[in-house]
Amino acid sequence: MKFGKGIYTSGKKSQSSLLVLVSVIAILGVAWVGNIFSQQTDLSRIIESAGLTKLVKFLDVLKGVSRNSLILSAHRGTFFVAGKGESYICNGPTPPAIDEIRFELTNASLDTLNSYVAHINFTEATLSFNMSNFTCVDFPMNDAALNSGIFDENFSVGAYGSVIQISSEENNASSKNSISEKITMNRFWFLYRKFRDWSYKMSLTDDVCNCLCPQNVCSGCVDASLESSRRLLEQTINDPEVECYVQKTCCHEEKVDYSGEYYSSCVEWPEAPCAVCSLDRHSDICTEKTPFSSIHEQQIENQSNESNIEVTNESSSSALGSGNYKEARGTVKATFSCIDKKYQLSLPAGSRNLLFSVDATVFLRTLCPEEPPVVSPLFPKTSPLFPKTSPLFPKTDPLFPKTSSPLFPKTSSPLFPKTSSPLFPKTDPLFPKTSSPLFPKTDPLFPKTSSPLFPKTSSPLFPKTSSPLFPKTSSPLFPKTSSPLFPKTDPLFPKTSSPLFPKTDPLFPKTAG
């Protein structure tokens, strides 16, 4: 029984052991399979997450490349627009408006930016991407912001319209590539503001007008005006890091017989050799790209409405139109450039200073009395002391001039300083106390120092050397050769015409009554 029982017991125990074993195996198997599934899910989730993260990070990298491309494009755009030589003076102030500048900046920067975009190329095999071109580069600016000066050294630029698509084996990502960047150390808007302000202050047009009849537009008169305009520009900018230059690129003058209707003052001379202003401007910012032709200069014709030059109609001035006139024509074109040495831009030729250049073009004509029957340039028609019109003596009192003239300048010039007039300085012209280019401190009649009118070794009355007013062999009172002010004949009783002493008695003209 024992044996049998023992066998029975042993068999039961064996069965239970097997059951335990099978149970353990089954439990482990289920756990294992469950774990495998669980881990598979986790793994795929982690891999997927890592893949997505990789795409997003790669997207950021692409945007980073775009941002730096935008910075370089903005540098290139500002440098191009600043150096383009836009016409800020075209017979008067014609600075481009802010939106016109923004349009030009957009066009100049957009092509560069898209060129960079075309060159973006990663060789990483697992990711492929596609970046579409930008459609707009915007330089936000308005009058209030510009005039406040907060964008003088830094300004914002944005680029829009591009889309990035990235795809890997498992994932795809797409994002608008709209970026904005702060352009630092670039004083484009500062210089634009200063040039714009200056264009309304400078008097080149008036100066050229006043130089026409004496026919010395290209022989010194305008040079002085250009130099004073340059100084005015530097004063307007008022920054020691900015240096300005002026270069006369074209000058022409002529005097022809005139038989048409009389007009006073100066009017445009569109046929002038230098009568070209680049004024083809657009202000439709960030629209579909339009053909841009402002690089090409446009012949200016019939733009009297844009000019600030007074055009007098015939009826109002015909009363003055008795006599022979010559038409004096003159044109001047100059480029004013300022270089900002404070900062440097990243440009193809290396880091360079911002150079801002603008063109100033003046092309005018006016009538000059050839042999005035009644009036002389010095003492014109109506009254010898209170002339109405004359190129040398404007409408105002010649003794107390209000308007600009070569002899009574409004603004300071090297030859005609602000506080004095060459003919009527503050102090006694014959015995001046203060220095004047024309009347230096020393005795004007017996000068010791050099002056444009009275050179060092000469006396105005007994000159030895040549002077603009008193040529070498002549004496102002007893001239032998011709002088602009004192022709050959007796200055007090002239026989030939002179701007100051015409044929007729200047003090008692025959027809003046």
CB count within 10 Å of CB 428 equals 11
Specify the residue, 43 or 445, whose C-beta has the smaller distance to another protein: 43
Q: Report the C-alpha gap between 243 and 400 in whole angstroms.
A: 36
Please report whether residue 126 would count as binding another protein according to CB under 8 A: no
Please report whether residue 346 would count as binding another protein according to CB under 8 A: yes
Instruction: At 507, give phi and psi (nearest 5°).
Output: -85, -30
DSSP notation for 449-467: S--SSS-TT--SSS--S--
**Three-state secondary structure readout of 34-80:** HHHHHHHHHHHHHHHHHHHHHHHHHHHHHHHHHHHHHHHHHHHHHHH
Site string for another protein, 445-474 (x = CB under 8 A): ------------------------------
Q: Which stretch binds another protein (CB under 8 A): 115-123, 189-197, 276-284, 485-493?
A: 115-123
Specify the residue, 3 or 400, whose C-beta has the smaller distance to another protein: 3
Please report whether residue 47 would count as binding another protein according to CB under 8 A: yes
Write b or e for each residue in 467-482: b if 16 or more Cβ atoms lie within 10 A of its Cβ, otherwise e: bebbbeebbbeebeee
CB count within 10 Å of CB 340 equals 23
Q: Report the C-alpha gap between 139 and 159 in whole angstroms.
A: 9
Which of 238, 260, 291, 350 contacts another protein by CB under 8 A?
350
Residues 166 to 195 in contact with another protein, rule: CB under 8 A: 184-185
Please report whether residue 343 would count as binding another protein according to CB under 8 A: yes
Specify the residue, 58 or 195, whose C-beta has the smaller distance to another protein: 58
Please report whether residue 1 would count as binding another protein according to CB under 8 A: no
- The position carrying tokens 């019939």 is 302
Task: Answer whether 84's CB lies under 8 Å from 279's CB.
Answer: no
Which of 286, 347, 469, 485 contacts another protein by CB under 8 A?
347
Please report whether residue 68 would count as binding another protein according to CB under 8 A: yes
Largest CA distance in the chain: 176
Please report whether residue 315 would count as binding another protein according to CB under 8 A: no
Q: Report the C-alpha gap between 208 and 221 in whole angstroms.
A: 8
Instruction: At 106, give phi and psi (nearest 5°).
Output: -60, -50
Q: Report the C-alpha gap between 188 and 98 in whole angstroms.
A: 12
Write b or e for each residue in 146-155: b if 16 or more Cβ atoms lie within 10 A of its Cβ, otherwise e: beeeebbbeb
Please report whether residue 75 would count as binding another protein according to CB under 8 A: yes
Please report whether residue 273 would count as binding another protein according to CB under 8 A: no
Question: Shortest gap between Cβ of 341 and another protein (angstroms)?
Answer: 6
Which of 30, 97, 120, 492 contacts another protein by CB under 8 A?
120
Please report whether residue 42 would count as binding another protein according to CB under 8 A: yes
Which of 123, 302, 305, 315 contacts another protein by CB under 8 A?
123
Question: Shortest gap between Cβ of 363 and another protein (angstroms)?
Answer: 36
What does the binding site for another protein look like in residue numbers (CB under 8 A)?
A: 3, 6-7, 9-10, 13-14, 17-18, 20-21, 24-25, 28-29, 31-32, 35-36, 39, 42-43, 46-47, 49-50, 53-54, 57-58, 60-61, 64-65, 67-69, 71-72, 75-76, 112, 115-116, 118-124, 184-185, 241, 341-344, 346-348, 350-351, 353
